[in-house]
């Protein structure tokens, strides 16, 4: 249960350097008054592709809003970037995530890139940013495992997890071979897996096969096709997921954009998040993409992904959703890394206020250091009078 108490007292012994901040009142007991703001564990983004963030200028728009067009356009420009250029692009995207309260992120990097440049860039960046962010890396084949020079074993030696994408193959037989190879590599390297799986409306059932053969821990990313399956089959999959103690990661923003169904009714494009939570399955959220051919919008704010999920799943309770970017995600992330001691202070006194204003985070704190802070100074100027619109909204919602 996440507390939504209005007055949050945070220990200064954990947060060094706060005594000089005018915004916060420090008392003699080594604490400061966050003035009613809501404090939470720092956020996790459990599925992100920073290597192609802000590349719409290189790829052009996705006119069909389909995964196929996105992959085709990305693959044409991917190898034009050096390792250093990819690393720089990744870092800028992750700094935006940090500003929005994410201190732990799992990034999927394209092993199909020339000389596995994306993988090399990710490994270098993980070390470079380790003081301010914990990064887990996953090598995955964007175009197809068998069209990437069979680099999976080589690339996965450098990453934290082994990735896969069976939907990228031309037929079911090749997809099955794909998963068999991925699981064998994971077993050989003694690593967990995070697989892009059952990603569209074709009602593929690759998760069922993967769960039946996996010997190592597995994360099922996307699982969008489960949205369209009948309930009897879904219950079977839920039981398999629980038996394997697997996690599921949904990326609602990109999933909705790439659904691109013609005609009506239109599917929502995301997996059954709310139902999975009720079935005690560990579900997490990811931003997936940031202003690229896979998703053209975004600012690196994981709460935008949560906002989309909340509305699509028609469930509006804070305690249902905050764990998907905090405690649930930590459970999955901590299989490799130690649990987080970081936290974020929202510039809001309640979950509803935060999701209504989508205000920038008031403060992001990691290992006792303030890494990000902001204040809302927006103004309405009416007939010479100045009014803060956020305070206006707060006065109406308190």
- Say if residue 116 is in the same domain as residue 233: yes
pLDDT tens figures, 306-357: 999 999 999 888 778 999 999 999 999 988 887 778 999 999 999 999 999 9
Q: Is residue 338 part of a domain?
A: no
Q: Is residue 230 part of a domain?
A: yes
- Say if residue 235 is in the same domain as residue 260: yes
- The whole-number pLDDT of residue 292 equals 97
- Say if residue 280 is in the same domain as residue 349: no
pLDDT tens figures, 258-271: 987 777 877 788 99
Q: Please enumerate in sequence order all residues whose Cβ is within 8 A of that of 303, keeping only pairs 6 or more positions apart, or say none.
A: 43, 100, 101, 325, 354, 355, 358
Among candidate residues 284, 312, 333, the one where a domain is terminated: 333
The sign of the dihedral angle between the CA atoms of 49, 53, 56, 59 is negative
Structurally, the chain folds into a number of domains equal to 2
- Say if residue 89 is in the same domain as residue 164: yes
What are the φ and ψ backbone dihedral angles of 192, each rounded to 5 degrees? -75, 165
Choose between 317 and 192: higher pLDDT.
192
Q: Is residue 222 part of a domain?
A: yes
- Say if residue 266 is in the same domain as residue 351: no
Q: Which residues pair with 246 in a beta bridge?
A: none
- Say if residue 355 is in the same domain as residue 326: no
CB–CB of 108/194 below 8 Å? yes
Residue in 253, 224, 244, 250 with CA at minimum distance from that of residue 328: 250
Rounded-to-integer distance, Cα 303 and Cα 239, Å? 29
Residue in 51, 49, 50, 14 with CA at minimum distance from that of residue 32: 14
- Say if residue 245 is in the same domain as residue 175: yes
pLDDT tens figures, 270-302: 999 999 999 999 999 999 999 999 999 999 999
DSSP, collapsed to helix, strand or coil, labels residue 386 as strand
Pairing of strands 102-110, 43-48: parallel
Q: Which two tokens stand for residue 161?
A: 């997890």
- Say if residue 321 is in the same domain as residue 363: no
Look up the CATH number of the domain holding residue 285: 3.20.20.140
Q: Which residues pair with 110 in a beta bridge?
A: 140
Cis peptide before 265 (omega within 30 of 0): yes
- The whole-number pLDDT of residue 173 equals 95
Rounded-to-integer distance, Cα 397 and Cα 352, Å? 9
- Say if residue 102 is in the same domain as residue 234: yes
- The whole-number pLDDT of residue 35 equals 82
- Say if residue 54 is in the same domain as residue 34: no
DSSP class per residue in 167-215: GGSSSHHHHHHHHHHHHHHHHHHT--EEEEES-STT---HHHHHHHH--
pLDDT band at residue 20 using 50, 70 and 90 as cut-offs: very low
Which residue segment(s) compose the domain that 378 sits in? 9-40+343-397
Residue 203: C-alpha distances to residues 224, 330, 385, 395 (Å): 9, 30, 58, 47
Q: Is residue 160 part of a domain?
A: yes
- Say if residue 151 is in the same domain as residue 264: yes
CB–CB of 117/86 below 8 Å? yes
């Amino acid at each position: 249960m996440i507390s939504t108490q209005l007055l949050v007292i945070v220990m200064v012994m954990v947060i060094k350097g706060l005594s000089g901040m005018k915004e916060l009142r420090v008392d003699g007991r080594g604490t400061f008054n966050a003035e009613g703001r809501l404090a939470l564990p720092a956020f996790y983004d459990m599925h992100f592709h920073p290597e192609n963030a802000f590349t719409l200028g290189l790829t052009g728009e996705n006119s069909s809003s389909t995964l196929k067009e996105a992959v085709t356009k990305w693959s044409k420009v991917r190898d034009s970037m050096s390792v250093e250029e990819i690393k720089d692009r990744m870092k800028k995207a992750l700094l935006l995530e940090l500003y929005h309260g994410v201190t732990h992120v799992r990034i999927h990097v394209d092993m199909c890139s020339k000389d596995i440049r994306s993988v090399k860039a990710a490994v270098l960046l993980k070390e470079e940013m380790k003081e301010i962010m914990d990064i887990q890396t996953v090598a995955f084949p964007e175009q197809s495992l068998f069209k990437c020079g069979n680099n999976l074993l080589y690339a996965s030696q450098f990453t934290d997890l082994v990735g896969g994408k069976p939907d990228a193959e031309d037929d079911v037989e090749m997809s099955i071979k794909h998963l068999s190879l991925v699981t064998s590599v994971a077993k050989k390297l003694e690593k967990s897996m995070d697989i892009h799986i059952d990603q569209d409306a074709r009602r593929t059932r690759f998760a069922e096969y993967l769960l039946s053969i996996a010997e190592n821990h597995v994360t099922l990313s996307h699982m969008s096709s489960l949205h369209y399956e009948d309930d009897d089959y879904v219950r079977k999959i839920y039981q398999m997921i629980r038996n394997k103690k697997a996690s599921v990661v949904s990326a609602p923003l990109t999933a909705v954009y790439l659904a691109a169904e013609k005609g009506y009714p239109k599917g929502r494009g995301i997996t059954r998040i709310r139902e999975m939570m009720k079935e005690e399955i560990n579900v997490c959220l990811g931003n997936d993409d940031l202003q690229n051919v896979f998703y053209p919008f975004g600012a690196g704010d994981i709460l935008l992904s949560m906002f989309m999920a909340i509305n699509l799943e028609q469930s509006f309770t804070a305690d249902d959703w905050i764990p998907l970017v905090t405690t649930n995600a930590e459970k999955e992330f901590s299989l490799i890394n130690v649990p987080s001691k970081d936290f974020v202070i929202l510039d809001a006194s309640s979950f509803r206020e935060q999701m209504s204003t989508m205000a920038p985070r008031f403060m992001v704190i990691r290992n006792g250091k303030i890494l990000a802070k902001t204040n809302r100074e927006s103004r309405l100027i009416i007939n010479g009078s100045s009014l803060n619109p956020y305070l206006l909204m707060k006065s109406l919602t308190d």
